[in-house]
Structure 1
Amino acid sequence: MKRRTFIKTASASGLACAIPPIFPTFNHLDYSTEELMGKANIELFGEGINLREEAYESFLEMKKAAYSDGFDIKIVSSYRDYYRQRSIWERKYLRFTEEQGMAPLDAIDKIIEYSTIPGTSRHHWGTDIDIIDGHPKVNGDVLVPEKFGADGPYEGLKLWMDEHSEKYGFYLTYTNNPRRRGFKYEPWHYSYAPISISMLTAYRKLNILKLLQKEEFIGSEHFTTGFIKTYVQDNILDINPVLL
């Protein structure tokens, strides 16, 4: 089925599932704190893909299937270590506070609309991807929700992912459920559930409050206990329930 035909016929039902999927548990895996926070060296696969081996292999299968239907899945971002996330955070914090004159707490609230605190990103795990369709020619920022919506350049890919991604283990992380809190809707962010579920389970056992209080990066001095607790509940845990 080619791209134009698929856009006309694909269901817009999104992630609705009658029966939630069941993934095997990985209780035998022991993830270190450094690994969960993006500070450890982990084995990654695929040039320009950078995923754990199982996620990488499943991604290639999904990419091949999408290509046969007229979509070229391109990864904009996958694995990011702690230090890369810290640089993203600090760059945004300085832009909002020094260039735009925002108060520190307002700048932090602005950052966490889409970006994570260093050490808390799912991109630290080698399981999550931000994707676009490589076929359309697009100007400006590509990771914009409207570009994945009706008449957007990535509408067709989004409809294809709605229909097929879960067969390959990839689930939309930050859905458009109006009751969901935390990060805004990200129609480009998918997580490889067979691994990321076990990693989130391990991550939830960490004392995130204590760990973040030890970190020193620009803006972290404004974190309060209440802020971190709310951030964990809303931004880390209020996600697609299939991934919990």
Structure 2
Amino acid sequence: MERRKFIRNSTVFGLGLGLIPHHIWANGFTTEYSIPELMGKASIPLSGDKGGQLRPEAFEAFQKMKKKAYQDGITLKIASGYRSFERQEGIWERKFISYTRDGLEPMDAIEKIIEYSTIPGTSRHHWGTDADIIDSSKPVKGDVLDPQKFEEGGPYADQKKWMDQHAESFGFHLVYTDNPRRRGFKYEPWHYTYAPLSKPMLEQYRSINILAEYKAEYFEGAEYFTGPFLKNYIQDHILDINPDLL
């Protein structure tokens, strides 16, 4: 399959994240985080083990939360923390190729990917503030990031209850809630963000003309990204999250 530029058609250029209130541009708004940093393309300070890394401030807060949880019989572990642009690109392309080889039409494959996975450069995991969290003391077969495993009777049910009660006191908030009116990514009971950092980062991220940043990028399946698709993706997947994080 020929790989084409992410924004081949002028009809999608400029959509980006410009779907935002004008007040974000006001009052001499200054970017604290660079665009490459917000898109996972720059080296950032990280703490923790490989695969479970966060920005130092977020990791310190996680360690405090982990200590408290351990006292209550829960062994918290970061199953996935910071992800670079390149790693997210690999996840995207692997899924797209797999799904289309299995017979899905390209747009059906894309819709399936974005049930849980982001377009590279749009992942909150790029920021070093977000983590997929599990209880490592529980034996689990198969995919640990399965919503059913967090339900009553599942291996992570106690962890879910504990996080519901305590996570926000340490600054961690669930991103993709089970609100039936929420669109975009499906419910992820494992995905938490350190709000003291991620809220201002999202505000700054929303000022990026994201599609302009993709002029020199290539993705498998990007030629199928139409203007309406990208507009809906931005509204539903990036911005329709836990309202406490906006």
TM-score exceeds 0.5: yes
Matches within 5 A, 1:20-99: 30-48=32-50, 49-98=52-101
Partner of 2:159: 157
Tell me the SS of whatever aligns to 2:219.
coil
Say which is worse superposed, 146-155 or 224-233, in terms of deviation: 224-233
C-alpha distance in 2 between matches for 1:212 and 1:173: 25
Hey, what's the Cα distance between the residues in 2 that align with 1:87 and 1:97?
A: 16
In the TM superposition, what whole-angstrom CA distance separates every residue of 1:96-134 from its partner, at most 9, and x where no partner exists? Answer: 001x11000000000000000000000000000001111
Q: Which residue of 2 aligns with 1:16?
A: none
Are the equivalent residues in 2 in contact too, given 1:209–1:225 (CA < 8 A)?
no
In structure 1, C-alpha distance between the alignment counterparts of 2:31 and 2:40, rounded to whole Å: 17
Tell me, which stretches of 5 or more residues in structure 1 are unaligned? 1-26
CA drift at 1:214: 4.2
1:167-186 alignment runs, 5 A limit? 167-186=169-188
Counterpart-to-counterpart distance in 2, 1:227 and 1:28: 30
1:219 aligns with 2:240: no
Gaps of 5+ in 2: 1-28
Deviation sequence 1:63-120 (CA, Å, 0-9, x none): 000000001001110000000000000000011001x110000000000000000000
* Mapped pair 1:120 → 2:122: yes
2:31·2:204 contact (CA, 8 Å) conserved in 1? no
Judge conservation of contact 1:209–1:228 (CA < 8 Å) in 2: no
Q: CA RMSD in A?
A: 1.2
Give the TM-score normalised by structure 1: 0.86
RCO comparison, higher one (Cα < 8 Å, 6+): 2
Cα offset, 1:211, TM superposition: 2.7
**AA at the equivalent of 2:227:** T
The alignment partner of 2:211 has SS state of helix
Q: Which residue pairs with 2:10 in the alignment?
A: none
Segment drifting more, 101-110 vs 209-218? 209-218
CA distance in 2, matches of 1:205, 1:91: 30
Percent identity of equivalent pairs:
60
- Please point out which of 192, 206, 230 is paired with 2:194: 192
Tell me the alpha carbon deviations over residues 169-206 of structure 1, each in whole angstroms, 9 at most, x when there is no partner: 00000000000000000000000000000110011001
Name the aligned partner's letter for residue 85 of structure 2. Y
Could you tell me how far 1:229 is from its partner in structure 2? 1.1
Structure 1 runs of 4+ with >3 Å offset: none
